[in-house]
Chain A
Amino acid sequence: SGASASLNEAMAVLQHHDAVSGTSKQHVANDYARQLAEGWGPCEVLLSNALARLSGSKKDFTFCRELNISLCPFTQGAHSFEVTVYNPLGRKVERMVRLPVSKEAFLVKGPDGAVVPNNVVPNPSSEQLELLFPATVPALGFSVYSVSRVSPRRPTSLRRRPRAQEAE
């Protein structure tokens, strides 16, 4: 079962001015980080339960805590996966989703099954590839996008030329 009480408590502790401004001693900062991390675990379960109920389907939801540094073993290893984008704002938003991946070609489909344009771009800081696609999310709601790997299209320059041309 999920719970938000421990994260609530950790957030309450972190209202202390030392945590807000970063003026705590190092071992206290470490403890703040520990409390936040321990509080977030049961919250992930809570969010998974909520999403299962709202979507009508129970899944093994995965949270990538290191997306900010372009690390997500799940998206980097999976052949296909779903991305649920939740919008906490009271109006529709459009957002570019970035996910670290290890391959270069993907097929992304939106909530209505339509193909969504996507690109794979290099991230120079982490030397990773990142999948990029635009997501539209309703107010206080979520959209589910499906992503699957496809074979990369052959670049035009690598296509075989007719023999006569090769000889030239």
Chain B
Amino acid sequence: SLELTIQNEYLQARFDPDTGLLMEVNNLEEGLQLAVRQAFFWYNASMGDGLSSQASGAYIFRPYRQEPMILSRWVQPRLVKTSLVQEVHQNFSAWCSQVIRLYRGRRQLEFEWTVGPIPVGDNWGKEIVSRFDAALDTKGLFYTDSNGREILERRRDYRPTWKLNQTEPVAGNYYPVNSRIYIKDSEMQLTVLTDRSQGGSSIRDGSIELMVHRRLLKDDGRGVGEPLQEDLPGRWVRGRHLLLLNKLKTAAAAHRLQAQEEVLAPQLVLASGDGTPYRPS
């Protein structure tokens, strides 16, 4: 029942003692406090229904129900605190776990998730998302990038150049995320940087979700000719999301500089020690 907190000189993350899930992020440097919950959810992939025979597949994301199911309402957290890093380890299921990490001197909260192999023994294709729910009044707007260059404003159930008849409330609001997605209100901005291209959206005000893995049992009939299935026992993926909370006026500098460091990350080369002097000849 002890409250879990990880903190460095710039950020503090607090965890719900009852569920073990993230519940609040504080930017100590800028004096910001935001209630943020984060958990993993899964969409049941459509195999086609009475409205349309369209199945979810490699090309098409089409959930059977518009509300995703939470993977676990609580986790048994494990806290690791050292001089260089503070971590909370969370185990959502046998095939989904996460480390939430705060390094000394860093201004972002790192989520390292490990997902898979997705079980499909129940004959349900599954599409797994990591969802951040924050107390922000975002008025139906969110922002995604285009190849890390131009940030585009996305408005739920809206297209800027034609009158949209929205028939897919979830999939119809998903957009490509190449390096970042963010939401904001009049005071602060919540940004999530990704380490790879993913699908993402803000289905409700204050919410950000990113699809991290999917395993499907039916071809979507758009050309690939195969379901997005995997050889037994299936694949697992590991990736990272970086969460930044900033005032509006500092947010762009923060996420742009950090995203550069992610996209052009330092490379490691190892060697066993002493070598011989190099001669160009």
Contact = CB atoms under 8 A, between A and B. Distances in A.
Nearest to B99: A124
A81 B266 contact: no
A62 B273 CA distance: 11
Interface of B: 58-59, 78, 80, 82-85, 87, 89, 91, 97, 99, 103-106, 112, 114, 197, 222-226, 228, 238, 260-261, 264-278, 280
Contact of A53 (B59, B114, B225, B278): B278
Interface string A106-140: 00000000000111011111000000111101000
A62 B272 contact: yes
B270 A62 contact: yes
Contacts of B58: 21-23
Contact of A125 (B99, B225, B277): B99
B223 A23 contact: yes
A123 B112 CA distance: 10
B226 A26 contact: yes
Contacts of A60: 271-272, 275
Interface string A87-122: 111000111110100000000000000000111011
A100 B266 CA distance: 17
A118 B238 contact: no
Nearest to A55: B278
A37 interface: no
Contact of A121 (B87, B105, B271, B278): B87
A68 interface: yes
Interface of A: 18, 20-26, 47-48, 51-53, 55-64, 67-69, 72, 74-75, 78, 80-89, 93-97, 99, 117-119, 121-125, 132-135, 137, 146
B272 to A, nearest CB: 6
A119 B82 contact: yes
A119 B84 contact: yes
Given A23-B224, A96-B84, A124-B89, A61 B271 contact: yes
Contacts of B266: 85-88, 93, 95, 135, 137
Which 4 A-B pairs give the minimum distances between C-beta atoms?
Answer: A59-B275, A119-B82, A59-B271, A57-B275
Given A117-B83, A125-B238, A51 B261 contact: no
Given A61-B269, A63-B270, A119-B84, A25 B226 contact: yes
Contact of B268 (A23, A85, A121, A134): A85
Contacts of A23: 58-59, 222-224
A88 B267 contact: yes
A81 B105 contact: no
A80 B78 CA distance: 31
Contacts of B89: 124
Nearest to B97: A125
Given A26-B226, A125-B238, 9 more contacts: A53-B280, A57-B275, A57-B278, A63-B270, A82-B273, A84-B269, A125-B112, A132-B84, A133-B84
Contacts of A18: 224
Contact of A93 (B85, B105, B261, B278): B261
B271 to A, nearest CB: 4
B84 A52 contact: no
Given A56-B278, A89-B260, A122-B80, A96 B272 contact: no
